[in-house]
A = this chain, B = another copy of it.
């Protein structure tokens, strides 16, 4: 095909190309950062430094956003390294072992990681100003495919300084609010009227999708902290806020219409419109004067009259409800659709656990509900048994049943923990602080909490024969142990001083 001369030329071209090609290859193979990625957690850190250095060269105004991007990328990379490592390294063979259980879900999870705990770096700031911030948790399925059962739920947390207004907006999502801290007033705008409700710690309120609402922190000193469960109605798993009032920041959605449309729709000259939709530049969370706050604070407590006036859509206070479980080690407050009718079509229940310092919750599982918990206050840790994550190695070759991986982690303010249906879980408060947990329970209808220890634990309900056959020890031994713990649902925690005699030498 090629004449001798041509071939010679080709050869030269060839070799030059090859030098290029192979030097690239060599670089690729020997790139020290790449090696870090695989074997060494320092890779992302090094890239973070480099990224930051490049930000320094940008103009002053651009620097903060440049740095934020660096940090976000860093977090993502760390996440991937932690949780995604196994997917790449694992051998298919070990997954298809004779247990035959479905190991495919494990993909993207590492031996040392799990997808159930979310911390600061899993949130993104949707709004941030000097007066507060609104943070949204990443999509659950972005974290792990194992969480796809709750993929159409999102979580966000609003923190606002005293005397603040959050600008009126609507979302393409249902909102379920829980007031974790502070005192606010929320206003819901309907076509023909407006409802305003004062909010206090423990209040639960549903804001229907598409309802324009705004909120103030009416306290002079305390922050307002609100946790929200969101259920998008337009694009599954995604939502956006829509600001009518606004200007440049927040941008008013009116600005998306052409001037001709706005002139006709509002029957107003364009110069006036430009002024109206051009002034706001302070962002979503803005400072109000004491006087403005006072006049927007809801005077009458009309919203409280509910549930006697069944029509009101005001808040329900979870903490004022008698706890369903209570002893010296902790309290559990629960609200479901029977208490607060607006939870019905969301199929969500809400609970609030306050575990006394040094105490623990009983190990238990939810029969149907998947729990999304937010740590409102305090510190502690949890342990959970997960068969979906268990690795085949932990079971022997000859075993025919699943094994359970212990999933655990530290809990502290702002941490989010997902507990899937059926999974045994235990949560423990630190020895010096109460642990307060807010839980949204998805798929709440007919859900039951089954305790695995304590006076009413379900093991006590097994027949004598089932006990001895299942445990392989005399039924008497089984019974003795499962009756030892006489408390209900909240117990003295591990490492705490022992009063009864059961554990003399521990």
Contact = CB atoms under 8 A, between A and B. Distances in A.
A245 interface: yes
Contacts of A401: 126-127, 241, 243, 246, 249-251, 283-284
Contacts of A397: 61-62, 65
Number of copies: 3
A458 B212 contact: yes
Interface in A166-184: 167-168, 170-172
A244 to B, nearest CB: 6
A172 B422 contact: yes
B462 A128 contact: no
Interface residues of A, number: 187
Which of A167, A426, A471 counts the most chain B CB atoms within 10 A?
A471
Nearest to A154: B102
A276 to B, nearest CB: 6
Contacts of A68: 98
Contacts of A7: 15, 19
A238 B171 contact: no
A96 B454 CA distance: 49
Interface string A401-438: 11111101000000000001111101010000000000
Contact of A286 (B105, B258, B469): B469
B406 A242 contact: no
Given A69-B98, A422-B209, A453 B266 contact: yes
Given A11-B15, A124-B100, A194-B463, A265 B491 contact: yes
A459 interface: yes
Contacts of A251: 395, 399, 401-404
A72 B284 CA distance: 47
19 contacts: A14-B15, A61-B397, A65-B397, A69-B93, A148-B235, A172-B421, A210-B422, A233-B421, A242-B423, A243-B402, A244-B424, A244-B452, A246-B401, A256-B405, A257-B426, A264-B493, A266-B485, A269-B504, A270-B506
